[in-house]
Amino acid sequence: MIEWIEMLEIIAVLLAATSTVFVFVVLVNFARRMFPREKTILIKHKPEKKIKKETEPMSKEAREGVTFNDIFMFMIAVPLVLLWVGFAGFVIHSGLQNAAVLEQIEGYTTLIAILGGPALLIIKDALDVWKQEQAEKTAFYKHKAQSVIDYNASVLAQAQEIESKAQEQEHKMESKK
């Protein structure tokens, strides 16, 4: 079985590699923002002319694929939550298999609590974001449904008005005869 010191060394190496990747991703994202690519559009004016290329800068929405929050969630928040759940599962499994773990249970529960504080905040924030997205979807569909109702009412009112005008015109034509 791996000693605790060796396990901590492995975790330290993994965290160092993760932070290196994180810094690299941040630098690449910064470079992309500093030097945005241009979008090439091909336009054909007439069949006998050659294809003319025009460049148009990409919109901010098209350029901004990965945000800092995305990087934060995938590089820090997700591993922290997984580490917390994994370590808690490991302690439970080890406690059931080895009585020595139960003697040291206070230290393990302290470590689980230390990891659990930020992990629970991250989970709570993720759930809040999800709730907000669901509320936005609900509001969008309510607005869309109301728009369809209003559109149908206006189409019906317009059809009635056209029918009314047609009948008035028909009566005028008959009265002139």
Tens of pLDDT along 8-52? 677 777 877 777 787 777 777 767 777 777 655 555 555 555 555
Q: What percent of the chain has pLDDT over 90?
A: 19
Strand partners, 57: 38
Q: Which residue has the higher pLDDT, 67 or 112?
A: 112
pLDDT of residue 62: 47
Amino acid identity of residue 177, one-letter, is K
- 161: tokens are 């008005």
Of 26, 36, 40, residue with least CA distance to 64: 36
Q: What is the pTM of this model?
A: 0.44
> What is the mean pLDDT of the segment spanning 79-94?
82
Q: Which residue has the higher pLDDT, 70 or 156?
A: 156
Mean pLDDT, the chain, whole residue set: 78
**How far apart are alpha carbons 39 and 58 in whole angstroms?**
6
pLDDT of residue 160: 96
**How far apart are alpha carbons 15 and 13 in whole angstroms?**
5
Of 133, 136, 130, 94, residue with least CA distance to 2: 94
> What is the mean pLDDT of the segment spanning 69-95?
79
pLDDT of residue 5: 66
